[in-house]
Structure 1
């Protein structure tokens, strides 16, 4: 007996949420890899790698930490990316299978809010990088004074908004503009990253001097630092581990999305991490101090006008390629999913950009400790349980089979209707692990003066705790409350369908 056909509900679909057609699935493996190169080569990823040296690790300890984190997060990236390439559906639609057609809003809003915060941080980075490269003679002193209640100067805010406007112009061109930006920027960013490494090599007198900075940590101090830093490395890409279907839905085949990700993400991230670690280590030799923030480093490299202009172009491309792809597409689709009849991709992206301002990113982007321990680890605690639930639902319970028509239906007999559109098993499995890590987070940000050491340890590995515990709890609850209904047929537009 064939599967029931479901009529699409207007409240669940529009042109941006519909499955991609065959002629839209043109993303090659190389283009997928280029997407990752553009996302990886950015200031936050350099800063994360450099921060490991600033926090006391040697370059090879930092390299080990970053590489291991990348290999771990590659698993959920490929797991969720499969659904996008197989069914042509974006993340907000994919997550309806596990959370329900209405409950999916919870998962998409969480992912979207984190991305909005990231959008603000990246925009702040881009604006401040260009501001630092502008000669001091062109900066009015009256506008450079920090406003105490705002914790920023008018000049800083002006460059922040200028960079914000530049990104909105790119966003307004839609997904085609995003894909073209990634494709053509990747080679330029690779060249500029190599030039930065060459500069450090020449100034420091070779790799021997560049990599001579040794660890300042005792074995026990290293392990206390290693686990939260590993979690931060995983947390950096925990957003993309959820929303990668937004891109793989345009892949030409499963092979293209899998190979493009398997090559583009870990290799480019490892190579760029090495540059960040090596250059940061070399600053101790060159300047006598460790400088992990590339924004502060660039003005110290040269005052030559051509070099300044190249640096501005490099920073602009690095921020744009990372921000537009990683931090706009997902929240824009989440907003579209909230009200498909009112919002399209452009409207959702514009709302994302506005929310990014409200996050006041100049307060979020602070010291290495704040950036790693509070922002990255904290975000991973929110996103880990969603990833665990989605992976278990798609691969363990459903064996990779979805009823695409039912994902767009409010019919009560749909396998994704659950309880009035909400999968209570998924919601419970998400909330419980997050509650466990909250005390450690509150201690980290200074709200609680003391908590049991075990809770601090749990927070240090928040993504791992929430990912695995939420996945296991979801599987148990789904088994106790009745096995999740299985889809029976593939959609006729699937890549693996018969013609």
Structure 2
């Protein structure tokens, strides 16, 4: 019997194939892939070659409108139903159809003969089946707005087409076979961020606001649920496109204007990287004095206002962290998978010891001695809620640096839910129990967990507790203060700086900041946090308003890596002047608010700065973009 073969691309396995017509049946046969990666599924798991070599698509006389309306997702779930006439028509045109694109295995569409042929023909057949038209780039090929079929599979060809000023291996979209972060990995990341000395002190401080314990828990729950929602918003575009924060910033700020956003976030991360390293080095110095008392003589030598023991402890932590960071994101994932649970073990053990010493009757969920009126209590709850949002302000920008490695959006949301609402509330309850119990056990309330551990008359307990909180500090340094500057510096000079070099540069700059001098000046810290922190909020508002309200979640990934004047995100010489203007104006509003409340005290002290900055950035950006008739 005569058999006709037509070249095409497998709609089931997304790989080169041919369709053979034989006796009113279309048989889909898969060719041997040229690369091992092509034999892997979208989840990176190896397919059974015997089961993957052949499948049949029988004739199904289902109305095309029903297919287009109710079964679009089934096209990519190995349940692709087409009538014989429709399938034959599409195959003869050598057309490979995805939801929003015509492509060839995710590679650059301008190099695919099938795509070029399809572009020259009418789009009516495509629209008849799918109800939408493919999107083409300036090179004549199709371009995806759904990177689950685009960027993760096309990184090799994207590297050939991308501009060297915008692309390197670490800034490129993450392929699906490298997306190894499960829901537990995201959960462990949040544990590493929250379970630190700073996180402990912050959680305990919420119970010092003068409101009752149940009011604090309500405010804390509402605030962390808001953070959970905001994190899902900012994590979705980076997961979809597999790109880090500085690349995502190109969507709203332009391919070159994103450097401004990267610099703002990078400066904050570098300074706090040095500060957290210095805090961890204090625990190292405590251990040295405990086991090597003669090391106290090193305190007589000083350089740049830091004694010899401090330098040894600081450099030890600096080198140890750098060794882990230079191993790459996979090693970082494994490390933070250990950090968060390790701190939980010590915190539960510490809570059990406090309860055994103080008893249940001495515990209280209200640590402060203030007495507030009804209005003041309501204001205190709002203040506590906004404090929770402000605590996560930095990661609200660059959470995409981690979500790009998530295996699925559902895994990301599950990890966020366990790591934010559930984990934060449990950790806060443990914190207040330990802190309130310390007043009964030691005679005064101690807010520092390392100091509580040091009061225990047991060397083994002191060592375990100190090492645990050293690891915890390293965990938050990785999550909040290292990964972002590394990507931000790589974005500034992608041709010469990759993720590892960016991390090395960030580490060196963190030493040059001399964080021990910085920490000894509370006023300097207040000014720094107020000014730079108030700029992060407008940047978040601009980026989210652009992606969800202006771009409608449609971002052509390849356009993020081109400097062509006709590029989608080239705007005005690589800068989106509207985005920069909205950022500057909203930044002035938020910075002015912080200065009036925190420093000048012209307004009552409050924590509305982040909310005002984010809302102002979003509103101004949307209004100015629509006035300029830009999309």
Length-normalised TM-score, structure 1:
0.87
Whether 1:433 aligns to 2:580 is: no
Query: C-alpha deviations, 1:284-304, integer Å up to 9, x for none?
Result: 22223222122332211x132
Distance 1:432 1:97 in 2: 19
CA distance in 1, matches of 2:296, 2:398: 43
**SS state at 2:363 partner:** helix
Q: 1:3 aligns with which of 136, 153, 164?
A: 136
The change in CA–CA distance for 1:67 and 1:439 in structure 2 (over 3 A counts) is same
Q: Do residues 421 (structure 1) and 574 (structure 2) align?
A: yes
Q: Do structure 1's residue 248 and structure 2's residue 398 form an aligned pair?
A: no
Deviations along 1:463-490, one digit per CA (max 9) or x if unpaired, are 0000011101000000001121xxxxxx
Q: Deviations over 1:35-69 (max 9, x none)?
A: 22222211111111123345655544444444333
- 1:100 is aligned to 254
Q: 1:240 & 1:431 partners in 2: Cα distance? A: 21
Kindly indicate whether residue 463 of structure 2 is the aligned counterpart of residue 278 of structure 1.
Answer: no
Q: How does 1:150-169 map to 2 (within 5 A)?
A: 150=305, 152-169=306-323
Contact 1:235 1:377 in 2 (8 A): no
Given candidates 559, 565, 568, the residue that maps to 1:412 is: 565
Is residue 239 from structure 1 mapped to residue 372 from structure 2 by the alignment?
A: no
Query: What is the CA–CA distance in structure 1 between the aligned matches of 2:220 and 2:451, rounded to whole Å?
Result: 22
For the Cα contact (< 8 Å) 2:593–2:609, is it kept in 1?
no
- Alpha carbons of structure 1 residues 386 and 196: separation in structure 2 relative to 1, 3 Å: same
Counterpart pick for 1:175 among 329, 338, 347: 329
Question: How far apart, in 2, do the equivalents of 1:415 and 1:113 lie?
Answer: 28
Q: How far does residue 215 in structure 1 lie from its aligned partner after superposition?
A: 4.1
More displaced 10-residue stretch of structure 1: 188-197 or 407-416: 188-197
Pick from 337, 340, 344 the counterpart of residue 186 of structure 1: 340
> Is the contact made by 2:545 and 2:622 (CA closer than 8 Å) also made in structure 1?
yes
Q: CA deviation at 1:438?
A: 3.0
Counterparts in 2 of 1:304-323, with a 5 A limit? Answer: 304-323=458-477
| Cα pair distance change 1:264/1:462, threshold 3 Å | same
**1:262 offset after TM fit, Å?**
2.1
Q: Which moved more, 1:435-444 or 1:345-354?
A: 435-444
* Contact 2:594 2:609 survives alignment (8 Å): no
Q: Which moved more, 1:204-213 or 1:95-104?
A: 204-213
1:69 and 2:223 correspond: yes
Q: Deviations over 1:202-239 (max 9, x none)?
A: 22212652546454242366566655554442222111
Measure the CA separation in 1 of the matches of 2:166 and 2:361. 56
Out of 255, 269, 278, the position equivalent to 2:424 is 269
Please name the residue that 1:469 is paired with. Answer: 616
Shift of 1:170: 0.7
Larger % of helix: which?
1
Identify the residue that residue 99 of structure 2 maps to in structure 1.
none
Once the two structures are superposed, residues 108-162 of structure 1 have per-residue CA deviations (whole angstroms, 9 ceiling, x without a partner) of 1111111112212221121112323444671655544697983x54423431222
Structure 2 unaligned runs (5+)?
Answer: 1-133, 140-160
Check if 1:354 corresponds to 2:508.
yes
SS in 1 for 2:167: coil
Please state how far the C-alpha of 1:281 moved relative to its aligned partner.
2.0
What per-residue deviation string (whole Å, max 9, x for no partner) do you get for residues 298-333 of structure 1? 211x13221122113211221122211221111100
Return the offset for 1:194: 1.1
- Does the 8 Å contact 1:45/1:273 carry over to 2? no
After superposition, give the CA deviation of every residue in 1:332-389 in whole Å (9 maximum; x if it has no partner).
Answer: 000000011111111101111122223333355479x979966655553121111111
Counterparts of 1:335 and 1:329, CA distance in 2: 10
How far, CA to CA, are the matches of 1:140 and 1:468 in structure 2? 53
**Counterpart for residue 556 of structure 2:** 403
Residue 492 of structure 1 is matched in structure 2 by: none
Q: So what's the TM-score if we normalise by structure 2?
A: 0.70
Cα 1:375–1:228 shift into 2, 3 Å: farther
Distance 1:148 1:352 in 2: 22
Q: 1:223 to 1:440 in 2, by over 3 A?
A: farther
User: Is 1:385 matched up with 2:538?
Assistant: yes
CA contact (8 A) 1:50 1:293 kept: no
Q: Deviations over 1:403-451 (max 9, x none)?
A: 00000011111121111111111111111122123345446675xxx45
Aligned length: 475
2-structure distance, mates of 1:259, 1:48: 24
| Structure with bigger RCO (C-alpha 8 Å, 6+ apart) | 1
Q: For residues 284 and 376 of structure 1, do their structure 2 counterparts lie closer, same or farther at Cα, with a shift above 3 Å needed?
A: farther
2:227, 2:392 within 8 Å by CA — same for their partners in 1? yes
